[in-house]
Structure 1
Amino acid sequence: MPNHVTNQVSISGNAESLAKLKAVLFAPGIPDSSDDENVGLVVDFNGLIPMPQSLHIEAGSLTYAMQKWNDIDKNQLAAVLQAKYEALYDNLVEHADGQINWKQDKVSDMEALFRQQPDLAAKCGINLDYGEQIRRNIELYGCPTWYEWSNRHWGTKWNAYHQHIGTLSDTEIYVEFDTAWSPPEPVFAAIVETFPDLQLEARYIDEGGGFAGTFYGEDG
């Protein structure tokens, strides 16, 4: 359960730039509350900093396990796992010991076994397709899953939530939303950089974490 950081964001400027910002900052959706019940829009960070689709996969203990598996030299003997990857080795001993010759088989032989027996792989905490996916994601985007990417590129764990849409006029935007653990400073910075003629002020506070601040930007 994260600490909720409340963000109060005011953006103002000329109508043409503000219209362009609205087109990328908002997506169709129903906010938690709004001053106009027909607004039908929510803040979506993807419009400014889009998350690649392939990152929308499970993030957690499997990510860690398969990153370690991907790092293993597959030409090594399976026995090397006992010294370097004790938890994985214990799993393999429990579920696959009778099918592995620890003195002769290489890690690549184990991988072939898991391809043939996906149920056995699952018991051992191995998902080779998932491992290949996170390997490609790291190569392409520098992150294995949505979790690492969103923290790096949005500055927070999730997209905006608990949203209140206040003012959406031709020359002013005012919205409030929560983010997890920290404010989305990279998103604020992207707005200022992309729309240098707009003025942005974002006030944020985390009452649980005991911090608050203001992000201010104009002229890029």
Structure 2
Amino acid sequence: MPNHVTNKVNAPAHVLQTLINEGGRIDFNTILPFAGQFPWNGIDCAAEEAAEVITAQPLNDHPLIAQLQQSNRTQVDVLKLSDEGFEQFVQMLRNKRTGGHFHTMDFARDVWGTKWNAYDQVIDLDSGEISFDTAWSCPMPVLKELSKRHPNDEITVRYADEDIGSNCGTVKLKAGETVSSDVAGRWDEMSEERRQHWASWARELKGWTESEEDDE
């Protein structure tokens, strides 16, 4: 399971409305849509490995991961895929050819900067704030694109990882650019005072007490 990052975005209502789909939910596809099709809820790993082989995808930069990838790719056989796996394989190739990504998840990681779409959403346009969780990281590429679409409005983004005190902070955007940034450093490089500062800041953003954090 990923770490859940809480994101709070403050901006004028008309800016935030751009992120909300016809169903009334925060949806990153309103800003950066996936151009392909992938109607399955899960990804067949063998199908993905076959697609990586036939499109000559580079191996991971990490040697151990690269070694595992290479081993898996040498064992994959398209003709032995399940019927669904083969259909996924074919669709992945179509998606890669037309849009540059195999499926929704590799698109999300690459383009949105997070694994999934927004979840655990709270929308309050009257107060000019939306809140949502994402997996592993703040979807900054989406929010920068939102900012580009409204160049005259400032957007304030606050985010906090459930790894309290790490991967958190405040970023202000205008016209697609960062105008100010106050974010936590690497945990092992911060002083004890800075660790305490960011831990307290993150708990407040997430609405947690120290006891609730210990229970997670």
Query: TM-score, normalization: structure 1?
Result: 0.62
Q: Secondary structure at the residue paired with 2:11?
A: strand
Give me the whole-angstrom Cα distance separating, in 1, the residues matched to 2:120 and 2:45: 28
Partner of 2:32: 49
> What percentage of residue pairs aligned between the two structures are identical?
29
Counterpart residue type for residue 2 of structure 2 = P
Paired residue for 1:154?
112
d(CA) in 2 for partners of 1:84 and 1:156?
25
Cα distance in 2, alignment partners of residues 219 and 85 from structure 1:
43
Unaligned runs of 5+ in 2: 57-70, 177-216
- Structure 1 residues 3 and 86, CA, compared in 2 at 3 Å: closer, same or farther? same
Residue 149 of structure 2 corresponds to which residue in structure 1? 194
- 3-state DSSP of counterpart to 2:37: helix
Cα pair 1:25 1:43 within 8 Å, conserved? yes
Q: Confirm whether residue 3 of structure 1 aligns to residue 8 of structure 2.
A: no
Task: Tell me what 2:76 maps to.
Answer: 88
| CA distance 1:137–1:9, change in 2 (3 Å) | same
1:163 aligns with 2:121: yes
Please tell me the root mean square deviation across aligned C-alpha atoms, in Å: 2.9
The 5 Å alignment of 1:8-157 reads 8-12=8-12, 18-19=13-14, 21-29=15-23, 41-57=24-40, 58-68=42-52, 70=54, 86-88=74-76, 114=79, 121-122=81-82, 127-157=85-115
Alignment counterpart, residue 130 of structure 2, candidates 175, 178, 184: 175
Q: What residue number does 1:99 align with?
A: none
User: 1:136, CA displacement in angstroms?
Assistant: 1.4
Residue 126 of structure 1, CA deviation: 8.7
Q: Provide, for residues 16-40 of structure 1, a one-character-per-residue CA deviation record: whole Å limited to 9, x for no partner.
A: xx53x355311255xxxxxxxxxxx
Amino acid at match of 2:49: A
Aligned equivalents of 1:84 and 1:158: distance in 2? Answer: 25
Distance 2:17 2:130 in 1: 15
Q: How much does 1:88 deviate?
A: 3.4
- Judged with a 3 Å threshold, the aligned counterparts in structure 2 of structure 1 residues 84 and 8 are, in CA distance, closer, same or farther, namely closer
SS where residue 96 of structure 2 aligns? helix
CA shift at 1:60, angstroms?
4.6
For the Cα contact (< 8 Å) 2:50–2:76, is it kept in 1?
no
- Tell me what 2:161 maps to: 206
1:65, distance to aligned residue in structure 2 (A): 2.9
- Residues of 2 paired with 1:140 and 1:214: CA distance? 36
Matched residues in 1 for 2:73 and 2:162: separation?
Answer: 41
Whose Rg is larger?
Answer: 1
- Counterpart amino acid of 2:173? G
* 1:43 shift after superposition: 1.2
Aligned length: 160
